[in-house]
Amino acid sequence: MEKLTKRLLSWASLIDEKTLDQAHTTARMPFIHPHLALMPDAHLGKGATVGSVIPTLGAIIPAAVGVDIGCGMIAVRTQFTRAQLAERDLSALREQIERAIPLSAGHYNRKVVATAEPRIAELEQLAELKGFDPERYAKNWRLQLGSLGSGNHFIEVSVDELDRVWMFLHSGSRGVGNRIAQRHIAVAQQLAKRWWIELPDPDLAYLVEGTPEFTRYIAELRWAQHFALLNREEMMDRVARQLSGLMGEPVLERERINCHHNFTESEKHFGKQVWVSRKGAIQAELGRAGLIPGSMGTASYVVSGLGNPLSLNSSPHGAGREYSRSAARREFTQDQLRAAMAGIEYRDTAAFIDEIPQAYKPIDQVMADAADLVEIRHALRQLLNVKGD
């Protein structure tokens, strides 16, 4: 860990100047308490750096939570072993998963399936309790539950160091969560203009605790966070059904972990009750289970938090980009992606070039930087990878 200023601590050994400048700008906001914690996977984001932990007194910056509210990971350890899986056709499993779960931006379910019905009912009740109608943001939000999206979202079947099979996936609150986030970022910016508040970046516009706008944001954010959590559970159930079909017996869950990395919570740190916005970071209290994925084709990690108070009990959420998507497409080729994915079942397409492992920070370096934040419990190696275009 490096103390860059009194209000900015960094665990990132690999970081560019633009990202550092962005983090310094956010750390200078007057309500940061006690400091911003920059995670090892930090890279440029909208307004605030992805891979940062931002504690605020009496205010929240909606863009510092992230536009994919509640985005995160879920992993399930099964009873199966690598040897058992080696006897099966993984390409058939990948194709079945791709049919069971809508992939890519703008792709949703055609109907509400039986496993989604109780989850949708739960979300309907929560929305009523929060006093808002999600249809204001997306009329088809019910059909979005159980869909993956695109970008760095993924579904994987992996094995750990004991050759035990895990199901692992990454997704968030989809289009409905994005629209909720964008709406409240715009509200914060409108308020800044109305009250002549000068900001170093328009995306650092904030909502003040106690105002109607803040209260509405928290209510809708909580709903979106829960949507994201249930979305991952719905997809995991579908992956389990496909794996069960392949193996000829039901999946027995030995362990399940589901954690956000784009969210905010009210927590007490350094003597103050603050809003901790983790934008690309997970909670890592002492003993808390967490998930830190690598990039496409590399290792992912099941971890246990070490409760480091300087990090506000947080840790990185993944590898973190080194190349933008457009830069990665200019720099790398489909043949290089094929070489990186050797031995892993995946859909061979040029659409995934911007997700090549070389476009990300080395996950092993990220984990080394995080040695005082989390303890590694399991290292997972991919056997199968599913992504959206």
Active site members: 317
Beta bridge partners of 301: 292, 379
- The closest alpha carbon to 32, from 15, 12, 9, 11, belongs to 9
Rounded-to-integer distance, Cα 382 and Cα 159, Å = 7
Residues 6+ apart with CB under 8 A from 226: 70, 122, 123, 126
* Residue whose token pair is 């892993």: 344
Dihedrals phi, psi of 55, to nearest 5 degrees: -90, 130
Tell me if 40 sits within 8 A of 15, measured CB to CB. Answer: no
Q: How far is CA 117 from the centre of its chain?
A: 24
Rounded-to-integer distance, Cα 25 and Cα 144, Å = 36
Burial of 155 (0-12, 13-18, 19+ CB in 10 A): buried
Helix (H, G, I), strand (E, B) or coil at 145: coil
Rounded-to-integer distance, Cα 299 and Cα 339, Å = 16
- The closest alpha carbon to 36, from 23, 20, 46, 18, belongs to 23
**Element at 225 (helix H, strand E):** helix 212-247
Rounded-to-integer distance, Cα 49 and Cα 23, Å = 6
